[in-house]
Chains A and B, each alone.
Chain A
Amino acid sequence: MFDALIDGLWLVLQWKAFSLMMVGMLLGFAVGLLPGIGGAATLALMLPFIFKMAPAEAFAFLLGMHAVAATTGDITSILFGVPGEAISAATVVDGYPMTKRGEAGRALGAALTSSLLGALIGAGALALAIPVVRPLVLTFGSPELFMLAIIGISCITSLSGAGARGQIKGFAMGLLGLLLSTIGQERQSGSLRFDMGMMYLWDGLDFVPVLVGIFAIPEIVDLAIRGTAIAGERQPENLKAGVMEGVKDTFRHYWLVFRCSVIGVFVGILPGAGGGVAQWMAYAHAVQSAKNTKDREGFGKGDIRGVLGPGAANNSKEGGELIPTIAFGVPGSGAMAILLGGFLIMGIIPGPDMLTKHLAITFSMVWTLVIANIITVVLCLLVLDQLAKITYVRGGLIIPFVLLLVFVGSYTANGQIADLIVTFIFGLLSYFMVLYGWPRPPFVLGFVLGKVIETYLFISVSRYGFTWLRHPVVITLIVLMVIIIAYPYIQQRRDRLRSPANA
């Protein structure tokens, strides 16, 4: 095993594999920064180029690109409030308010360092888990995956405002997200739902135009309203000091970063849950870990923990997703399904051989994740000063350029003008949501999880009737769900009892 670990490192450090990894990282860096153009689409575009490569070179190229796209996606989210990737939307919620407060350097430093730690934990999990992951994945059938998605939805209680009115608004937004996720062809019976006679809606609403509209448009409108630079009229911060502060923040909250990384790995292992779910669950966990109601109030307004949690989960899930892909050939996400195509092009069949005959190649993937992330984060930390300066440029100069990125990103979803209209409609909806205090994160959670919940519910009922409710893992997850829902109420009650009025 140790020999294979060293052989894997040696395979990545060969000049050709290393050079290809650097080329992949460069591509991934650009793709991550551009809103909408996802890492999965770029993997698909690059697949034809690997035919003449050796397996370790091909995986260094593809994984180098994929690992970096997840990291740099956070940069656009923090600087402009525009999610660089659909999976980096949660970073906007606290990262962008920090930028508006003149703390872009600190937010970027924290996001990148937590991403690096998350990636290292994910890679470590990949290295350690392969021999023991089989029972875990086999334990999770449709009922368990359904319950896991329900746990994701139950995070709404943490993402909504405190008090009855806050919870009503939060749950209503979650339900609206779930409702809009049902647009399009129903997977079980093939019936068309809410398609309004438009073929565009047959496949349902794509994540990218919806998420970009929900997060980017209100931020752009807010920038236009303020008429200042993104960071307001403040004097530029000491960027180097800000970045270092962000790095220190990561280590100050190391236990939160670790827990959110574990959430990312776990969600990544389970097929079909997706990276967006991992980020939002990590974000909700970060909110929930606030000591009391007062401590929680900073979230959404630029709390560093709201950047650290999603940043860590976003990258740790890469290692998690690779586990079932390598061990069973069961891809954990769309990107992993494309990577699976890479395995087949290389003539490698995922499965037990990856733990015996091709163990060195498996470890070369682990090393690629580690090395690519370290190089990217170090390089990013060196140029962050320059990137963060953009936030001090007058808004009027930035807005047309950001709008260009937003709409080209949306357009890549289906290549239709309707993508732009969807972005506009959801931008308008999101503007009123913010204006009238209806929270957007529960809406996004409902929208992202809607299809997963419906699909797994039907499979569970068709396969098991209602006996699936008696599965031990399902019962455990139900208990966990009750705890998650009840925790904010328990926390409020505890705060009330501890308040001076009751002392």
Chain B
Amino acid sequence: MHKGRVLFCVFLIAVAAYAVWAAVGWTFKAKLFPLTVSIPLIVLAAIQLVAEIFGKADTGEGQAVDLEFASDVAPELARRRAIRAFLWVGGFILLVYLLGFPWAVPIFVFSYLHLQSRIGLPVSAALTAATWLFFYGLFQRLLHLPFEDGVIQTWLGV
């Protein structure tokens, strides 16, 4: 039994069960479609859950049409690197929330290059400047994309 696979089935059942619970009180038109899809989802996820717990291990035979992660990295190292990657992605979103895109972009790019990728200070600074110029020139000057201020600027009133 693979704990992660079991938990994913439980997650699917929980999502579909929540959908059923939320939809039951709606009007007929509003609930028909969500109920029609969430009930079979519970059934299919439950069958898969039983197969994960009691069935034979998935041999991977006839696998789905989709990406497969790198298999040449040790699982523990892969897990650590994946968590670190998601923390960087989450960190970027947090920076955008706090400071807005125009400030978050150079801070994130420089931090990632220098701290994560261990690129030297001058090269990191040069690449950060180039990325910021690309961002500013294309998205702000040319396309006039409206980027909101971060909460810090709003809070400080600047």
Q: Is there contact, CB below 8 Å, between B65 and A93?
A: yes
Q: Which of B22, B48, B66, B68 has the most CB of A within 10 A?
A: B66
Check A175 for interface membership: any CB of B closer than 8 A: yes
Q: Is there contact, CB below 8 Å, between A166 and B119?
A: no
Q: Is there contact, CB below 8 Å, between A225 and B38?
A: no
Q: Is there contact, CB below 8 Å, between B148 and A417?
A: yes
Candidates B15, B64, B119, B131; contact of A401 at CB < 8 Å: B131
Check A219 for interface membership: any CB of B closer than 8 A: yes
Candidates A162, A175, A411; contact of B44 at CB < 8 Å: A175
Question: Which B residues are in CB contact (< 8 Å) with A301?
Answer: 68
Candidates B29, B62, B67; contact of A434 at CB < 8 Å: B67
Question: Which A residues are in CB contact (< 8 Å) with B103?
Answer: none
Question: Which A residues are in CB contact (< 8 Å) with B105?
Answer: 404
Question: Which A residues are in CB contact (< 8 Å) with B92?
Answer: 403, 407
Candidates A30, A37, A225, A453; contact of B69 at CB < 8 Å: A225
Check A113 for interface membership: any CB of B closer than 8 A: no
Candidates B8, B64, B70, B86; contact of A170 at CB < 8 Å: B64
Q: Is there contact, CB below 8 Å, between A165 and B51?
A: yes
Closest B residue, CB atoms, query A97: B67
Q: Is there contact, CB below 8 Å, between B64 and A218?
A: no
Question: Which B residues are in CB contact (< 8 Å) with A161?
Answer: 62-65
Q: Is there contact, CB below 8 Å, between A179 and B135?
A: no
Q: Known contacts A217-B89, A407-B93, A408-B139: does B63 contact A396 (CB below 8 Å)?
A: no
Question: CB-defined interface of A154-183 with B at 8 Å, one 1/0 digit per residue?
Answer: 000011111101101111100110110010
Candidates B19, B41, B127; contact of A397 at CB < 8 Å: B127
In Å, the complex CA distance between A434 and B147 comes to: 33
Q: Known contacts A168-B48, A220-B89: does B113 contact A397 (CB below 8 Å)?
A: yes
Q: Which residues of A, 216-232, contact B by the 8 Å Cβ criterion? A: 217-222, 224-227
Question: CB-defined interface of A282-320 with B at 8 Å, one 1/0 digit per residue?
Answer: 000001000001000101110000100000000000000
Q: Is there contact, CB below 8 Å, between A417 and B93?
A: yes
Binds B, one of A187-195, A323-331, A381-389: A187-195
Question: Which B residues are in CB contact (< 8 Å) with A22?
Answer: none
Candidates A168, A179, A441; contact of B65 at CB < 8 Å: A441
Check A10 for interface membership: any CB of B closer than 8 A: no
Q: Which of B16, B70, B138 has the most CB of A within 10 A?
A: B70
Q: Is there contact, CB below 8 Å, between A189 and B30?
A: yes
Question: Which A residues are in CB contact (< 8 Å) with B146?
Answer: 415
Check A400 for interface membership: any CB of B closer than 8 A: yes
Q: Is there contact, CB below 8 Å, between B4 and A300?
A: no
Question: Which A residues are in CB contact (< 8 Å) with B138?
Answer: 30, 34
Q: Which residues of B, 82-135, contact A by the 8 Å Cβ criterion? A: 82, 84-86, 88-90, 92-93, 96-97, 101, 105, 108-109, 112-113, 116-119, 127, 131, 135
Closest B residue, CB atoms, query A223: B85
Q: Is there contact, CB below 8 Å, between A224 and B23?
A: no
Candidates A93, A179, A293, A438; contact of B15 at CB < 8 Å: A179
Q: Is there contact, CB below 8 Å, between B63 and A166?
A: yes
Binds B, one of A103-111, A358-366, A423-431: A423-431
Question: Which B residues are in CB contact (< 8 Å) with A263?
Answer: none
State how many angstroms separate the Cβ of A176 from the closest Cβ of chain B.
6
Q: Is there contact, CB below 8 Å, between B15 and A436?
A: no
Check A206 for interface membership: any CB of B closer than 8 A: no
Q: Is there contact, CB below 8 Å, between A440 and B66?
A: yes
Q: Is there contact, CB below 8 Å, between A396 and B44?
A: no
Q: How many A-B Cβ pairs are below 8 Å?
A: 218
In Å, the complex CA distance between A123 and B47 comes to: 48
Q: Known contacts A37-B143, A175-B40: does B135 contact A300 (CB below 8 Å)?
A: no
Question: Which A residues are in CB contact (< 8 Å) with B158?
Answer: none
Question: Which B residues are in CB contact (< 8 Å) with A212?
Answer: none
- Bin chain A's interface residue count: 35 or more
Candidates B26, B41, B147; contact of A179 at CB < 8 Å: B41
State how many angstroms separate the Cβ of A496 from the closest Cβ of chain B.
12
Check B152 for interface membership: any CB of A closer than 8 A: no
In Å, the complex CA distance between A221 and B79 comes to: 10
In Å, the complex CA distance between A463 and B68 comes to: 46
Candidates A169, A401, A408; contact of B101 at CB < 8 Å: A408
Candidates B12, B16, B86, B101; contact of A221 at CB < 8 Å: B86
Check B73 for interface membership: any CB of A closer than 8 A: yes
Check A458 for interface membership: any CB of B closer than 8 A: yes
Check A349 for interface membership: any CB of B closer than 8 A: no
Check A432 for interface membership: any CB of B closer than 8 A: yes
Q: Known contacts A182-B34, A224-B84, A394-B117: does B64 contact A436 (CB below 8 Å)?
A: no
Question: Which B residues are in CB contact (< 8 Å) with A45?
Answer: 143
In Å, the complex CA distance between A171 and B147 comes to: 39
Closest B residue, CB atoms, query A176: B41
Q: Which 4 A-B pairs have the closest CB atoms?
A: A162-B62, A396-B117, A439-B64, A300-B65
Told that A191-B30, A399-B112 touch, could you supply 5 new A-B pairs with CB distance under 8 A?
A: A37-B143, A161-B62, A168-B47, A397-B119, A403-B88
Using CB atoms and an 8 Å cutoff, list the residues of chain A in contact with chain B: 30, 34, 37, 45, 81, 93, 96-97, 158-163, 165-166, 168-172, 175-176, 178-179, 182, 186, 188-189, 191, 193-194, 217-222, 224-227, 287, 293, 297, 299-301, 306, 394, 396-397, 399-401, 403-404, 407-408, 411-412, 415-417, 420-421, 424, 427-428, 431-441, 453-454, 457-458
Using CB atoms and an 8 Å cutoff, list the residues of chain B in contact with chain A: 2, 4-5, 8, 12, 15-16, 19, 22-23, 26-27, 29-30, 33-34, 37-38, 40-41, 44-45, 47-48, 51, 58, 60-70, 72-73, 78, 81-82, 84-86, 88-90, 92-93, 96-97, 101, 105, 108-109, 112-113, 116-119, 127, 131, 135, 138-139, 143, 145-148
Q: List 7 A-B contacts (CB under 8 A).
A: A81-B67, A176-B16, A189-B29, A191-B26, A399-B117, A427-B86, A436-B8
